[in-house]
Amino acid sequence: MRPSSPPESVAPSPPAVPETARAEALDHPSLYFNRDLSILEFNRRVLALADDPQVPLLERLRFLTIVSSNLDEFFEVRVAGLMQRRKYNAGPLGPDMLGPEDEIRAVAKVAHELIQAQYTCLNERILPALAAAGIRLRRRDTWRATQRRWIAQYFQQEVLPLLTPLSLDPAHPFPKVQNKGLNFAIVLEGQDAYGRHSPIAIVQAPRILPRIIQLPTDIAGPADFVFLSSVIHENIETLFPGLHVKGFYQFRVTRNSELFVDEEEVDNLLDALADELTTRPFGEAVRLEVASNCPAEVYQYLLRHFDLQEESLYTLPGPVNLSRMAAIIDMAARPDLLYPPFTPGLPDRCLRSEEIFSQLRRGPILLHHPYQSFMPVVDFIRQAASDPAVLGIKQTLYRTTPDSPIVQALMDAAVAGKQVTAVIELKARFDEANNIRLAEQLEEVGAQVVYGVVHHKVHAKMALVLRRETDGIRLYGHLGTGNYHARNARIYTDLSLLTADTQITADMNALFMHITGMGRAPTLTKLLQSPFTLFAALREKIAAETALGTAGRIIARVNALVEPDLIRDLYLASQAGVQIDLIVRGPCTLRPGIPGVSENIRVRSIVGRFLEHSRVYYFGRNGDPELWMASADWMSRNLFRRLETAIPIEDPDLRQRLIRETLEFYLEDDCNAWAMGSDGSYSHLRDPSQEQPCRSAQDRLLALYGRGGVGNG
């Protein structure tokens, strides 16, 4: 077992709470982990995959770059928010009662440790292993003469025309450095033709230039690469003729990337967001990354310019943006160093030529992605677009792709004269620009486009088809835990339910009417909805299990568990003897295994080939279990500030299948599972000394569906 270090926390270790303790004691800050430190702990588990020799080599590189991308967003959003709160002397926000100053200090300590571990993994394990496999990142001191000539020519033709060297003097102020852009601080000596002397200059690498360049095979190996930074460094004196370049240092600035739009003060949210997006690359700085060779006088100068404290400085023994190294994965063309490909399966019913609406009248279809194909969902919308009997389509779009086949089908339906309503969430973080383009495209062909609900994100995944049949208009629906994003459906685990259930589809229609119109919250028959009914229903269901005492049973699978009232309710259930298993991929602020509080709660995280994204809630009900799939995590934002749905799985066969595949397999996993301790550490459950192969839930599902297996609906 490989334990991870517990996250740094100011809160003391939690004391045992006597059995006679009242519920108020469960509000004590020591019973809650800090959310941001828990996010960093999740990235430590992702980094462990990059360090795992059982993972294919290029996949290890991919996980290494994923950590970098995750940390970028963490600083852009979470750390940026902490720094804003410190700026305005705000008090503690979470139940752990950690104030912004203490939290920034704790986060910086853990983040520095994590990033140093990341570069140790890169330099000591990933790069040597890549080189042994024939994939080499050539350093400048290893270039041969023929390679230097090719690189010089490449620089002259492809790089130099796009560079703008900026010396810093009264006529040349410090340039606006974009968020996460690659930059170089150049230390100079001497005077130019005008008699100017500037000890430092800044060169920005244009985003259009690739950061990884493959050398031609006639002068190098089949997979030899150089960094753009090395190409510029080698030729930097070309930019400053007659001057002596004393130093060349990479740096990168991460900025606050939150968008600030007062939805009640704008006439058109789309136009307001489009304007706001132009300023995002230049928000307040929150992190400065510099190469490890950067001298103190240079990085101190940069810190002063960006108004950052030294805690925000990250000195890196390698390239300053590891996420760009992901380009090597495709360019290397080494499928032997990747996970084996798989073909998603299809339910038996989806293999028939019968149109989808006839199939759904006989019963629902449940799909488990990525093990089962996302194509039935695409076909559902495509058939609706081309079916003369279909009158209209209503759909939410939170994240998708510019070339989405679903969006194309909606456009085709609108062109064909069908009533198309698209609820596009413009505020989906970092997808705002893409969603603005989608909204404009759909509006151009006559679709009705709305932008969600003021102050609430529409995060529910719903598509509703209205079809005229012999007995009147009938509704068909799709509900999912994931987005309408065909590419993500290959790498995220998610659930899709296609159904003609009249009560569920009537609930869906009521939700669409409420989103696009106004009025009191709709009364739903089967679905639970945030922000109106889901939170209260969850508390009631946990309380019902609590009343059963030792006969109670709760299993929840979510991406994050940070909502303090739900945690408190789970503590009460544990004190009553309810057995609770929580499968939480990412941040979890509940402390399991505390005597007298949570000794009946177990928390595990599954981190593997696919990103675990399904949300499933199970309540035992004394032998008559109920099961829900949902779009909502157990977070305040999902339960109070987003429109979410939870869907009951009532068909006995589908319910039993889902319990087995999404809960039991994951509780039996001893391969990709990490168990959370009461001190905040996670222990990898894989035992390397075990002779029998470990049980991976993801591998079991691949064997069941992903290699041609079909399974039932």
Q: At a CB cut-off of 8 Å and minimum separation 6, what does 43 contact?
A: 67, 70, 71, 74, 114
Report the C-alpha gap between 506 and 516 in whole angstroms.
16
Strands 365-369 and 492-499: antiparallel
Q: What are the two backbone dihedrals, phi and then psi, of residue 186, each rounded to the nearest 5 degrees? A: -110, 120
Kindly provide the b/e burial profile for residues 352-375, where b requires at least 16 CB atoms within 10 angstroms of the residue's own CB: eeeebbebbeebbbbbbbbbbbbb
The DSSP symbol for 161 reads G
Report the C-alpha gap between 599 and 116 in whole angstroms.
35
Active site residue 459: yes
Quote the radius of gyration of the chain (alpha carbons, Å): 27
One of 368, 459, 485, 684 is an active-site residue; which one? Answer: 459
Residue 510 in contact with residue 392, Cβ under 8 Å? Answer: no
For residue 602, give the amino acid letter: R
Residue with tokens 């049973």: 553
| Residues of each annotated binding site | 70, 399, 429, 492, 585, 613
The DSSP symbol for 263 reads G
**Virtual CA dihedral for 535, 537, 540, 544, nearest 10 degrees?**
-130
Give the H/E segment covering residue 397: strand 390-397
Report the C-alpha gap between 553 and 667 in whole angstroms.
14
Number of H helices, E strands in the chain: 21, 27
Alpha helices in 562-613 (DSSP H): 564-575
Q: At a CB cut-off of 8 Å and minimum separation 6, what does 521 contact?
A: 514, 529, 532, 533
The DSSP symbol for 20 reads T
Q: At a CB cut-off of 8 Å and minimum separation 6, what does 565 contact?
A: 535, 539
CA angle 309, 38, 597 (to 5 degrees): 130
Report the C-alpha gap between 706 and 234 in whole angstroms.
48
Q: Token pair of 519, please?
A: 């009025």
CA angle 265, 272, 531 (to 5 degrees): 65
- Residues annotated as part of the active site: 459
